[in-house]
Structure 1
Amino acid sequence: MSQTNFLDEIQEINLAYLLLAQRLLDEDREAAMFRLKIDSDVAELIVSLSARQLTKLARTNQLLCRFSQTSAEHLRLLTANPRDQGLAGLHASLLLACESFEPMPPGEAK
């Protein structure tokens, strides 16, 4: 796959992520901030972006979303959960919720 295709896919993912973030924030801001691991200032900014601004922001060559699970062990627990399938969703939610929110340092969000 060429670099151009990768760039196109990154931009599509970015736009989808931003649109989803706006919808989540419009529906239930507190829950969305928790799920997206963003603070109220970022939430307000995302909600206020116009379609043109969203598109411009999405057209970066870097992914705007990132793994909230930076621990390989947590990823293993999420993917290799031996628990009953009825509780798997709850278990995954608890594991994801216990991760602390660490905003990206200034300069990394470019």
Structure 2
Amino acid sequence: MQTEQLSNEIRELNLSFLMLAQAMIRKDKAQALFRLGMSEAAAELLAQMSVQQLVRVASRNMMLCSMRFGDDVVWSLLTERHAAQAVDANADRLHASVLMASRAATATA
């Protein structure tokens, strides 16, 4: 992938992320804070941004979103590589959600 193409892809990803995050914050702020793993102050700022401001911020040459976990256990639970039954899969997704919630709570504390 060429550098210019990679930069364009990053900008598109950034804009999509910012627009999604802004919509989530405006719809249900508490849930958005949890799902996005961001502070209330950052959410307030993002919620108030205009489309032009979102485009300007998105045009930076660095990714604004990132995966918040690198734990193999969480990835395994989310991808259901080892789940054989639907009940187990639901329990695995719940377990992954609990793990992520505890990490988000300790990160914001």
Instruction: Determine if contact 2:33/2:40 at 8 Å carries over to the other structure.
Output: yes
- The count of aligned residue pairs is 103
1:35-79, Cα deviation, whole Å (9 max, x unpaired): 000111000000011111100000011110011112233223322
Q: Using the TM superposition, give the Cα deviation of residue 81 of structure 1 relative to its aligned residue in structure 2, in angstroms.
A: 4.5
CA 1:69–1:81 in 2, change beyond 3 Å: closer, same or farther?
farther
Quote the RMSD (CA, aligned, Å). 1.9
1:68-101, Cα deviation, whole Å (9 max, x unpaired): 1122332233223416335154343233223235
Q: Which structure's residues are more often helix, by fraction?
A: 2
In the other structure, the counterpart of 2:56 is 56
Q: Distance in 1 between matches of 2:40 and 2:84?
A: 35
Which secondary structure does the structure 1 equivalent of 2:103 belong to? coil
In the alignment, structure 1 segments of 5+ residues that lack a partner are 104-110
In the other structure, the counterpart of 1:107 is none
Q: Distance in 2 between matches of 1:46 and 1:83?
A: 41
Instruction: Give the fraction of aligned pairs with identical amino acids, expressed as a percent.
Output: 33
TM-score (norm 1): 0.81
Q: Distance in 1 between matches of 2:85 and 2:78?
A: 13
TM-score (norm 2): 0.82
Instruction: Determine if contact 2:18/2:58 at 8 Å carries over to the other structure.
Output: yes
Q: Which AA in structure 1 matches 2:96?
A: A
In the alignment, structure 2 segments of 5+ residues that lack a partner are none
